[in-house]
Amino acid sequence: MAELQAAAPATPRRSKFALGDFLREYGVLIIIVILMIGLTFLSPSFLTSRNLLNILNQSAPLALIAAALTLVIISGGFDLSTGAIFGVASVSAAWLAVNVDPTLGMIAGPLLGLLLGLVNGLIITGFNVHSFLATLASSMVYRGIAVLITGGALIPVRMEEFAWLGRGRVGMVNIAVLILLVFTVAMMVLLNRTTFGRRVIAVGGNEEAAILSGVRTKLVRIACFGLTGFAAGLAGIIAVSRISMGQPQAGVGMELEAIAAVILGGTSIYGGAGAVWRSIAGVLLLALIGNGFNILNVNPFFKDLTTGVIIVAAVALSAGKKRR
């Protein structure tokens, strides 16, 4: 009898945890739906196909980075160099397009991003440096390379052979959005349907256990950083193609936006759990907040305030799960 009485309080405790899990899983979608309903009532120009497609198109570069960055964070790492890789890949692609060949420039951007991402992974695993510090340092180096390539100047790229990637459409949908769709599906399959994806989750969940199970954890981490570098390079050439301009300062602050989107999507900052589709939803949530405040002409301070409060709530949910 005493045991039954002691077990009685367990029911509301499980319900509380179940609510927390539900919010971590679907909270970003709930906020998106509430935000869309509110903006639809507040502005007749919000729920139009043109505005919604524009939001998707503008968000595509950031979403590409967030999709790949999800794997890095699930594996227990951080990447603060994605904005710098975005910048150096974009100016390199622009320089090659202008001085050599437009097609070569478009190919070189993602490949250079892949190379720089692999360098990050090799530094982190080879020297056993925390990814936060390693990518913070490498971001400074990469940003310096971008300035060296351009001499601090802008590189105009006004070529039809280069512009189609950022401005071209299939029907009403921008090519950049279609690329994002394909890349997102590829990342989801890689994470959820392959041995590599299971190893990524295992490394982030318990690296020691993964090593004892025979997982080559260093290779897994290197591959994750390589994928994120590739995504940043791909995002860079899309941005250059869209604005017809290579800029050494392009992508400044983008790494923090990408991390915020991944955390908003419920991926654990401690590694071991997360989903690519939720990171994309996190990007869309940030984009909807920005779009909503713009069309309502609200003071930008409140946009930053709202975004910050939502991110803090997402981090608190993630920390709550870790404490359990």
Q: What is the pLDDT of residues 230-255, one digit of tens each?
A: 999 999 999 999 999 998 889 898 99
DSSP assignment of 257-313, as one string?
Answer: HHHHHHHHTT--TTSS---HHHHHHHHHHHHHHHHHHHHTT--HHHHHHHHHHHHHH
Residue 42: Cβ within 10 Å count = 11
- Helix ranges, the chain (H): 2-7, 10-42, 49-74, 82-99, 102-126, 131-150, 160-167, 175-192, 195-205, 207-212, 217-243, 254-264, 276-295, 300-323
In angstroms, rounded to a whole number, what is the distance separating the alpha carbons of residues 310 and 263?
10
Looking at residue 1, its pLDDT comes to 43
Per-residue pLDDT of the chain (324 residues; tens, 9 = 90+): 444 444 444 444 555 557 777 777 888 888 899 989 999 998 888 889 999 999 999 999 999 999 999 999 999 999 999 999 999 999 999 999 999 999 999 999 999 999 999 999 999 999 999 999 999 999 999 999 999 988 888 999 988 888 899 889 999 999 999 999 999 999 999 999 999 999 999 999 999 999 999 999 999 999 999 999 999 999 999 999 999 999 888 989 899 899 999 988 889 888 888 999 999 999 999 999 888 888 888 877 787 788 788 778 777 776 666 555
As given in the structure block, the two tokens for residue 296 are 């309502």
Which residues lie closer than 8 Å to 207 by C-beta, 6 or more apart? 76, 217
Start-to-end CA span in the chain (Å): 28
Residue 124: Cβ within 10 Å count = 24
Which residues lie closer than 8 Å to 198 by C-beta, 6 or more apart? none
Which residues lie closer than 8 Å to 311 by C-beta, 6 or more apart? 260, 263, 264
DSSP 11: H
In angstroms, rounded to a whole number, what is the distance separating the alpha carbons of residues 113 and 150?
17
